[in-house]
Structure 1
Amino acid sequence: MLSARSLRKATIPPSLLSDPSPGCLRPTRLAVHVNGAGDTCSVYFASGCRVYKIEISMEGEMLSRGKESLLIPINAQVISSSIVDRCPHRSEIQSVVLAEGEGDSCLILGTVDSYGHLIVSRLDTVADDIDRASYSVPPRDSGVGEGSWAGLCFGPTQQSTVAVARELCKSIDVYDQDIHLRSLRTLWYPSSVTFIQKFPQGSESSSMLGIAEGSQLSLWDLRMNHNGGCVQRISGPVGGTIYSICSSPSGLIATGGTDRAVTIYDPRRWSALSRWVGCSKYEITGISFSSVDQSFIYVQGVDYEITCGLWRESKRAFSFRGDSNWLGFSKCANTDVVAGWCESGSIFIADAQDHLSVDW
């Protein structure tokens, strides 16, 4: 059984960022990473054309609860704050993603702006002087047209593989570092993209891509040319929109959107395995499977609330609320550390683990 260990609230120094840009409805401008032994965490977030970083202390495990398992945050110390100078975008950054690089002290930071300009940088988490390789990939249409939401994801086994989704262009471009591999054309506006971590039909995980487009979940095999690479389309809420998708290590796919429900799909049967109705009071714009127990899922809605619960039993474990609209939502790659960034300048960080290993 998954339990919350702590909930912290940190405030971004006004000298670093006082008025964040509004961004898009999907809060994809935040990424979090737990450092070393877990005593600190690094939070990367984007506003305007810049990426910022703050270090937050994770010491202590004080926890208090309110009604209906609602967690009450404690104030956390901001150890340091800085601007990440490796991301020279010219338009508003729409998405920030972190991936583990080679070695314990290397992180791969990917950012994409509203015109599809991709920048990938290797960050050294130990030394202050960053001396790592980075590359920049301009959009295929040279940034002509109207800017819109854009997202990206790294391959689960090959971090050199990057998929960039652009909403108004109805396209997903796949790169091997700065080399363009292929473009996928969607029927509807894409709103979320992710690589499937494990596919039961024997396909390599780095070749299967899941895309939320309108009310449909589409699955694409990057090795195929037939039908543009699309191997399956699954209809979601009628007249609704899927805003977020994610994949579990076992291959399950979860979607959430305007229907305020989380739907879990089994790729072996191309059908819904479970549906958690009413897990959010308003539209769902962010979801992520737990790394500790895949039977739990984190759900982020536009009503300032983030919920963790059992998706099969439709049972809530715990939840917490921000103090204003979410500008970013992220879960650490290999641990259950979840972060949310509010437009007020507050960052909420929840840490969860199996209750059998929690020392109360």
Structure 2
Amino acid sequence: MLSARSLRKASVPPSLLSDPSPGCLQPTRLAVHVRQWRRRILLRVLRLRLPRLQARDIHGRRDAVQRKREPVDSYQCAGDSCLILGTVDAYSHLIVSRLDTVAEDIDRASYSVPPRDSGVGEGSWAGLCFSPTHQSTVAVARELCKSIDIYDQDIHIRSLRALWCPSSVRFAQGSESSSILTITEGPQLSIWDFRMHNNGGCVQRISGPTGGILYSVCTSPSGLIAVGGTDRAVTVYDPRRWSALSRWVGCSKYEITGLSFSSVDQSFIYVQGVDYEITCGRWRESKCAFSFRGDSNWLGFSKCANTDVVAGWCESGSIFVADVRQDLLSVIGV
């Protein structure tokens, strides 16, 4: 059982992050990474100011490789001994950096991938995700273009075309699922295998709430897929049968814009609402274990890939970081 023990917050100086904004309804402008060898949390947030953006940690150190001319929409960490840092802006300009996590964030290598359409057209939400088994593989989704581009480092592998505007993208987990993508697009959950050519690579479509929109998708190491959106419910699917295992109704007061299965116990799931609350509970029993709130609306929500460290960045500049363990929750102020 997971339980909450304490809650603390860190305040980011306004000089470091001036006038932050969520950028979209499902903000992904925060990433969290844990140095397991001493349980030190390394948090990355973005300085959202034009014409040039720089990624900094909350201690003020700057990643000079992270420079963009448009607002950065998504920010994601991967790796353990080598921290892989990925950002994508509103025109799907991708930058991936590799930093040495043992030393003081020494830049090891980086590369940049320009947009497929050279950045022409209207900017919109863009998201990225790394493959959990092949971290050189990254998927970049772009909302208004209804496209998902697959890259192996800076080499373009394939483009997938969605029927609706994508709002979230995640790789399926497991050694046999390294080429499987889960995408929420409009009211549907779509499953893609970019090795296939039939139906453009789409292997399954599952309809979500009638008249509603899905905003978030997450996957578990056992293969489960969870989605949430305007219906304020979390639905968990079994990909072996393409049927719903459970539906947790009313787990959030507002639209669900962030989801993540617990790494400690996969029977628990973290739910982020569009306001300033994060809930953790058992999805099978539809039972809340604990929840905590920020002091204003979220600008970003993230959980570390291999451990239950959950972070939320608020519009006020405050960052809440929760270190969750079995029968223990210790919230760390960074």
TM-score range, shorter chain: over 0.9
Cα distance in 2 for residues equivalent to 1:211 and 1:233: 10
Cα distance in 2 for residues equivalent to 1:5 and 1:250: 28
Task: Summarize deviations over 1:176-204 as a string: whole Å, max 9, x none.
Answer: 00000000000000000000103xxxx83
2:199 counterpart SS class: helix
Instruction: Report 1:21-60 matches (<5 A).
Output: 21-48=21-48, 49-54=53-58
Q: Which residue of 1 aligns with 2:76?
A: 97
Amino acid at match of 2:171: F
Cα distance in 2 for residues equivalent to 1:8 and 1:40: 16
Aligned counterpart in structure 1 of residue 106 of structure 2, from 130, 133, 137: 130
Amino acid at match of 1:19: D
Checking the alignment, whether the CA contact within 8 Å between 1:216 and 1:242 is kept in structure 2 is yes
Q: Which runs of 5+ in 1 are unaligned?
A: 55-79
Q: Which residue of 2 aligns with 1:289?
A: 261
Q: Which residue of 1 aligns with 2:17?
A: 17
**2:95 matched to 1:81?**
no
Q: Which residue of 1 aligns with 2:318?
A: 346
Checking the alignment, whether the CA contact within 8 Å between 2:311 and 2:321 is kept in structure 1 is yes
Q: Displacement, 1:13?
A: 1.8
Cα distance in 2 for residues equivalent to 1:129 and 1:250: 33
Q: Displacement, 1:52?
A: 2.0
Instruction: Report 1:199-348 matches (<5 A).
Output: 204-348=176-320
Checking the alignment, whether the CA contact within 8 Å between 1:47 and 1:92 is kept in structure 2 is no
Checking the alignment, whether the CA contact within 8 Å between 1:292 and 1:354 is kept in structure 2 is yes
Q: Which residue of 2 aligns with 1:196?
A: 172
Q: Which residue of 1 aligns with 2:153?
A: 177
Checking the alignment, whether the CA contact within 8 Å between 2:294 and 2:314 is kept in structure 1 is yes
Report the TM-score, using the length of structure 1 for normalisation: 0.87
2:107 counterpart SS class: coil
Q: Which runs of 5+ in 2 are unaligned?
A: none
Cα distance in 1 for residues equivalent to 2:257 and 2:223: 21
Q: Displacement, 1:42?
A: 1.1
Q: Displacement, 1:275?
A: 0.2
Q: Which residue of 1 aligns with 2:92?
A: 116
Change (3 A) 1:294 1:36: closer
Task: Summarize deviations over 1:4-31 as a string: whole Å, max 9, x none.
Answer: 3543200012231232134111121101
Aligned residue pairs, count: 326
Q: Displacement, 1:82?
A: 2.2
Q: Displacement, 1:83?
A: 2.5
Change (3 A) 1:357 1:339: closer
Checking the alignment, whether the CA contact within 8 Å between 2:214 and 2:227 is kept in structure 1 is yes
1:204 counterpart SS class: helix
Q: Displacement, 1:357?
A: 11
Report the TM-score, using the length of structure 2 for normalisation: 0.94
Checking the alignment, whether the CA contact within 8 Å between 1:21 and 1:47 is kept in structure 2 is no
Task: Summarize deviations over 1:80-134 as a string: whole Å, max 9, x none.
Answer: 3223221111100000000015xx2x20000000000000000122333623110
Cα distance in 2 for residues equivalent to 1:193 and 1:269: 21
2:84 counterpart SS class: strand
Q: Percent of aligned positions with the same letter in both sequences?
A: 76
Amino acid at match of 2:56: Y
Task: Summarize deviations over 1:314-359 as a string: whole Å, max 9, x none.
Answer: 000000001111000000111111000001000001111112899x
Change (3 A) 1:26 1:357: closer
